[in-house]
Amino acid sequence: MIDLRYGMNPHQPARVLDDGPLRVRAGTPSFINLLDALNAWQLVHTASAATGAVVAASFKHVSPAGVATAGPLDDVMRETWRVTEPGPLTGAYVRARDADPKSSFGDVVAVSAPVDAELADLLSQVISDAVIAPGFEPGTLEVLARKKSGTFLVLETDPAYEPPECERRDVYGVVVEQRRDRAPFPPGLPSDALLGLATLRHTQSNSVAVVGDGMTLGVAAGQQNRVDCARLAVGKARTWWLRRHSVVRTLPRVAGMSRQDRLNWQIRLAEGSLTPAQEVEFTELFPDVPPVLPDPRPWASRATLVSDGFLPFRDNIEHAATIGISHVVEPGGSARSPDVVNACAQHGMSVTHTGLRLFHH
């Protein structure tokens, strides 16, 4: 049994009754820390098994802000996170955090392989709250335990652990039980589709992800309708792309401004979300920079849109088309699936119907 810092909120006492494969190596978890960490670990463990690659995730409020396999970094990632040619594990986390750095602020980090010295050093420099991993190389625990004046949470889990076949939940005194979601992903899917499916299996529904080159470029979670999911995921992917715009990349550095504050201004500029008051402040800080960027041309010709439930209307596809999505992966089975397929054909997108719904709550 483990006493927690608090439950969902500071006024709620909480404890762990059975810690299963979990080991607290530093810090004291809260209820939400554990929900994030355990969901994030399942995601990277599943995604790594599906893709055969090292996987990292940046988790906030029981859904991923970003997920990525190990892979190459572009210049924006190198500049933003101050790395050059990192190893696979650090590279995977940089790619995951770069997907939505606004949401990743204060994240729970999950990685599918033991934390090495390079990743521990990076985590000591960024704003994050916790890490969960299947192990820690010598010396890394000492580095991580010093973070946040010793309050940074370090969790270790056993990758060989097999959870019970059924899972239970107690809600308002009602205990429900269901078989754990172990349905295999369809064979023959490309790696990006598999990464998207693994991501959505552990993302609050309704959910949609845009995936490209082994990275989630946009994840929309917990929406009440699927059109908003598609619109939000596409919007986040568009913001990711516009952060590569020369005006955004070269935003002047202001004396005394932190890396995170400059990054926040870059994101606001890229997503076009400056409020009137922020436009005034932006102009004062960056007098030679236009506060509005042009709409990007379609660019995501190698990206995949993945949905955890069937797409009921063609407007989901219309949103995807604005950035040039090339492939759509969804369960299928809607009464309007023929309309969705026709819309994909009109926009030059291929479609895969998996027959597999991946709701998660």
pLDDT at position 278? 96
Query: Is a pLDDT exceeding 90 seen at residue 297?
Result: no
DSSP strand pairing (166-171 vs 350-353): unpaired
Query: Is a pLDDT exceeding 80 seen at residue 4?
Result: yes
pLDDT at position 296? 80
- Domains along the sequence of the chain with CATH: 2-163 (3.40.140.20), 191-240+297-353 (3.40.140.20), 246-285 (no CATH)
pLDDT at position 295? 79
Instruction: Provide mean pLDDT across the span 39-62.
Output: 97
Q: What are the tokens at 320?
A: 């995807």
Query: Is a pLDDT exceeding 80 seen at residue 87?
Result: yes
Contact call for residues 207 and 222 (beta carbons, < 8 A): yes
pLDDT at position 50? 96
Q: How far apart are CA 296 and CA 305, in angstroms?
A: 18
The set of catalytic residues is 60-61, 206, 361
**Residue among 202, 206, 236 nearest 222 (CA):** 206
Query: Is a pLDDT exceeding 90 seen at residue 2?
Result: no
Q: Please give the DSSP secondary-structure letter assigned to residue 146.
A: T
Using the structure block, give the residue that is written with the tokens 């396999």: 69
pLDDT digits over 161-209, tens only? 999 999 999 999 999 999 999 999 999 999 999 999 999 999 999 999 9
**Residue among 361, 92, 342 nearest 207 (CA):** 361
Query: Is a pLDDT exceeding 90 seen at residue 294?
Result: no
pTM: 0.95
State the helix-helix crossing angle for 31-51 and 191-201, rounded to 10 degrees.
160
pLDDT digits over 345-354, tens only? 999 999 999 9
Query: Is a pLDDT exceeding 80 seen at residue 60?
Result: yes
Phi-psi region of 176 (alpha: psi -120 to 50; beta: other; left: phi over 0): beta
DSSP strand pairing (350-353 vs 327-330): parallel
* Average pLDDT across the chain, whole number: 95
Sheet of 208-212, strands arranged across: 23-26, 153-156, 128-133, 107-111, 55-60, 63-69, 215-220, 208-212, 304-307, 327-330, 350-353
Cα of 19 vs its chain's centroid, Å: 25
Query: Is a pLDDT exceeding 80 seen at residue 1?
Result: no
pLDDT digits over 24-37, tens only? 999 999 999 999 99
**Residue among 70, 75, 74, 46 nearest 56 (CA):** 70
pLDDT at position 216? 98
DSSP strand pairing (63-69 vs 107-111): unpaired
pLDDT digits over 242-291, tens only? 999 999 999 999 999 998 999 999 999 999 999 999 999 999 999 999 99
Query: Is a pLDDT exceeding 90 seen at residue 111?
Result: yes
Contact call for residues 23 and 47 (beta carbons, < 8 A): no
